[in-house]
Amino acid sequence: MNKVDEHHDPHLAHHFDTPVQQYSSAKVGMWVFLATEILMFGGLFCAYAVYRGTHPEVFLYANHFLDTNLGAINTVVLLTSSLTMAWAVRAAQLGQQKLLVGLLFLTLLGGFGFMGIKTIEYTSKYKHGLWVGTENAFYYKSDSFTNPEKLVGAVEYGESHNAVTPSTESTDSLSEQIKDVAQNDEQVNQPQAVLPTDAQTNIPEANQGPVGLSTQFGRNEGDAAAYNYPEKKPLTYEDLTPQQRTLVSQFFQIYFLMTGLHGIHVLVGMALIFWLLIRSMLGTFGPKYFVPVDLVGLYWHIVDLIWIFLFPLLYLIH
Amino acid sequence: MSWLFTLDHKRIGILYMIAVLTFFLVGGIFAIVLRVMLALPIADAGNQMGMEMNDTRAIVHSQNATVPDEALNLIFNPGQRTPEELQTDVEAVLTDTAAKNPNANVPIVDYAQLNEARTAAAGNYATKLNNHNTLYNQSFTLHGAVMVFLFIIPAIPAIIGNFVLPLMLGAKDVAFPRLNLASWYCYMGGAIFFIWVLGKGIMNYIVPTLERVWGGGGLDTGWTFYTPYSTETNTAVVAATGGAFILGFSSILTAVNFIASIHMLRPKNMTWFRMPLMLWALYATAVIQILATPVLAITLLLLIAERVLHVGIFDPALGGDPILYQHFFWFYSHPAVYIMILPAMGIVSEVISVFSRKHIFGYAFIACSSMAIAILGFLVWGHHMFTSGQSELLNAVFSIITMLVAIPSAIKVFNWLTTMYNGSIRLDSPMLYALGFIWLFTIGGLTGIYCATLAVNIHIHDTYFIVAHFHYVMVGSTLFAFLAGMHYWWPKMFGKMYSERWAQIGWFLVFVGFNVTFFIQFIMGALGMPRRYATYIDKYQIYHHISTGGSLILTVGLFLVLFVWIHSLLRGKQAPANPWGANSLEWHTVSPPPHANFDHAPPATDPYDYSHWRWKPEIEGYILDEASEPEERQAMAHNDS
């Protein structure tokens, strides 16, 4: 035991017997760490599930404001970068230096692309006033929130930077206007959401106290009907009760928290890939030593995987 | 300096020890502050009232007149009277006195001045009471938060686990030494946040003007940071939760390290069911840390977002649900109870077997029950919320699963008792602490059944019964097992023996002090004394006095333990490699172990087979009896050479 290996590997730490053992340990450690990442996002998925369950109409309504096309493009960008990352691991294992550098560069570019598109999305949300926090969210500024005319004004203002005085008819066709706004965003084929026939559902009002996980929930006779969606019909702002309109913010709180935390992870991943890129240009990695590339690759795939869940939950489900 | 950059798991363990014990002292000081405040609240209130009475009396007496007590009583206890009614009644008393005793110099009371003085005094008293309550609230919060996040959770895994885990595996270090050091720095970083919060709060209390300089500090939410209060209080919730978030990283990094080490660094002949039970316990603990800590992380992030951005995840006015916070919080914090107690059980398993000179009874059951507790621990969080308004069905389900945890816990206790049965028991200090653990854990566990029973829970909810229960389970068990482990591995860690006699006296004081402090709280709680109150009605005073007395005994005991350790470091005898005759691998190397732990990694055999260790009086330790070594070991030794 403890014999000095004649082919002594400079990357082998003193407390490991073989490079294989060291490599496997690193992998075990990384997988365990990734499990913690999944569980951390699990809390947010849980919050999403709870509030979607308690306020389904609100989610159906609010998700119209997200740009599915941009989301889809981002999904493709991230998936592609995942491919180049996986390929980079292979290139490192085979000692293909130039290929490795190129693939890492492409992966990093994917990260930049993703964050760039994310920035465009966030900026447009901000312009629309769809932002976290009671101070900034337009639905809490009582005049714009309680009065749909001003809401439309706010949305249009965000688009044109030019205050439009909405006509009185506009209150009757808010969804049309939102669709117009969506078309300006090249968001043509926005699927229509559905609403229960009876717009006055019996979902408990949130400001009466805890809902959802409390005994109050599920006790009202109308609840079952609220989930049956017997007739498809476009969802408009007027269909929402005042309480539900207040709750529109909740969708965006969850949207920003989930995509925000995911975005931070993308940034961390980009920093790691940048570090790999520098090291790979110095020729550090090769068939004997590629563990960092492998581990960062695993991390990048997890980031990708989480997005794969975020995209349909936030953008697609109606 | 080399210590601050060390990658040696033994040194990191000792760094942890210094830090954790320092914070234990801080948490302990706040515990004593609480107990002293609770022992004196009535007297304190009386003094305050007495001072006001003197002020007011001075106003009345300025005319050299005698004020009858009856009139003073009316003045100080006006009840529902308006000032005019009060004046009429007091005049009546004075007239009455003058009529009864014509010689008395009855004062002419200036009611306007009197009312003014009384209002001022009442305001003064209210301020003082408010300060008293603030100090109490901040003290119990800091006591709880520091003890939970900085002491009980990291104590055994980070100090003892870090030190002994690689040794028990026969390895040179943990799998990721640099991550191990990073974990210590995360711990210190998180701790600094806590201490900052603490320092600000206390300084604000001592020098109230400071609050204008640096804003509100302290923390008065309780260690649970419950919303909606935690989003509204003006104390430093963000700093504290930020600190807890960073501490979570420390916990996760340690757990990753332990899991990878146990999976990858076990020697070939140490199968899973040949690992010492301490390793099983640390493994189960690490699994919980991995699965639970990230949920706490996201909960704290959501709380910070709620507080800073008002995102409305937990605020009912914005459509959120504060009960969701409790679900999230307890999804971490109930398993955290098992993070505290599972490694404690590991230590007790080792100590009981060694000091009974008997093979541990039911090895596989103890090992598997650790994992069972780890798994069941994730399914019981709702029992913290029986009175929160969650559905009765949930309550019933959580109640049943909570009681199921008693099964693996009882398996362990019965196995320890059976191990001792017919053993040749030595009552050295580690064994005394282990026996203390069994005593306290049994009381804590049995009272846990009261808490898990729905109807009884309604009665004892938020009373001192709960306080006593969780102190028995969390503090009693963890602290006693921690002390058992420290005394057990002390010779290995520092290569010095300590004074056994004084260690035993220390144990006696700690054991008696602990039981006096907390057993009385079961009674107090059952009688209805609520927790988290700075003042109380007279009925409970005697119980609080006994409890405070016990806490002082406990303090003396703990300081005695500290002095025994310091004395051992300065004057202790050189420790032999194996002072207890244990057979797990850490005892096969010298004390303290060299940098790479072993000259030759010893072959792993049954860790609870003590038959081939012989007592050698010259070195006051045990040595391997080559002749009686098991064939397997001889065969392995042969293969190695």
What would the pLDDT profile of B462-475 be if each residue is shown by its tens digit? 999 999 999 999 99
What is the nearest CA distance from B618 to chain A, expressed in angstroms?
A: 32
pLDDT per residue over A148-191, tens digit each? 443 433 333 333 333 333 333 333 334 444 444 444 443 333 33
**Cβ pair A14:B596 closer than 8 A:** yes
**Cβ pair B327:A213 closer than 8 A:** yes
Please provide the average confidence, as pLDDT, over all residues in chain B: 88
Residue A135 has pLDDT above 60, yes or no: no
The whole-number pLDDT of residue B629 equals: 62
Is A152 in contact with A174 (CB distance < 8 Å)?
A: yes
pLDDT per residue over B79-88, tens digit each? 677 777 878 8
pLDDT band, very low/low/confident/very high, at B636 (cuts 50, 70, 90): low
pLDDT per residue over B24-76, tens digit each? 999 999 999 999 999 987 545 545 555 555 656 655 655 556 667 777 777 76
Residue B118 has pLDDT above 80, yes or no: no
Interface of B with A in 259-278 (CB under 8 A): 259-261, 263-265
The whole-number pLDDT of residue B480 equals: 96
**Cβ pair A29:B640 closer than 8 A:** no
The full 3-state SS of chain A, as one line of letters, equals CCCCCCCCCCCCCCCCCCHHHHHHHHHHHHHHHHHHHHHHHHHHHHHHHHHHHHCHHHHHHHHHHCCHHHHHHHHHHHHHHHHHHHHHHHHHHHCCHHHHHHHHHHHHHHHHHHHHHHHHHHHHHHHCCCCCCCCCCHHHCHHHHHCHHHHHHHHHHHHHCCCCCCCHHHHHHHHHHHHHHHHHCCCCCCCCCCCCCCCCCCCCCHHHCCCCCECCCCCCCHHHHHCCCCCCCCCCHHHCCHHHHHHHHHHHHHHHHHHHHHHHHHHHHHHHHHHHHHHHHCCCCECCECHHHHHHHHHHHHHHHHHHHHHHHHHHCC
What is the nearest CA distance from B600 to chain A, expressed in angstroms?
A: 7
**Cβ pair A212:B263 closer than 8 A:** no
**Cβ pair B317:A1 closer than 8 A:** no
Query: CB-based contact (8 Å) between A50 and chain B?
Result: yes
What is the nearest CA distance from B374 to chain A, expressed in angstroms?
A: 16
Name the residue facing A134 among B175, B318, B388 (closest C-beta): B318
Residue B154 has pLDDT above 50, yes or no: yes
- B-chain residue closest to A50, CA distance: B324
The whole-number pLDDT of residue A179 equals: 43
- A-chain residue closest to B288, CA distance: A36
The whole-number pLDDT of residue B637 equals: 57
pLDDT band, very low/low/confident/very high, at A99 (cuts 50, 70, 90): very high
**Cβ pair A210:B255 closer than 8 A:** no
**Cβ pair A253:B173 closer than 8 A:** no
- A-chain residue closest to B262, CA distance: A25
The whole-number pLDDT of residue B467 equals: 96
If you average pLDDT over residues B534-551, what whole number do you get?
92
Name the residue facing B256 among A2, A32, A213 (closest C-beta): A32
pLDDT band, very low/low/confident/very high, at A31 (cuts 50, 70, 90): very high
Instruction: Give the mutation candidate from B318, B325, B387, B395 for the A interface (greatest A CB count, under 10 A).
Output: B318
Please provide the average confidence, as pLDDT, over all residues in chain A: 73
Residues of A in contact with B262 (CB under 8 A): none
Interface of A with B in 243-262 (CB under 8 A): 243, 246-247, 249-250, 253-254, 256-257, 261
Instruction: Give the mutation candidate from A253, A256, A268, A306 for the B interface (greatest B CB count, under 10 A).
Output: A253
**H-helix or E-strand spanning residue B615:** strand B613-616
Residues of B in contact with A47 (CB under 8 A): 302, 313, 324
pLDDT per residue over A235-272, tens digit each? 666 667 776 776 777 788 889 999 999 999 999 999 99
Q: Please name each of the domains of chain A with its CATH number.
A: 19-138+241-316 (1.20.120.80)
What is the pTM assigned to this prediction? 0.84
* Whether the predicted interface score ipTM is above 0.90: no
- A-chain residue closest to B596, CA distance: A15
The whole-number pLDDT of residue B73 equals: 74
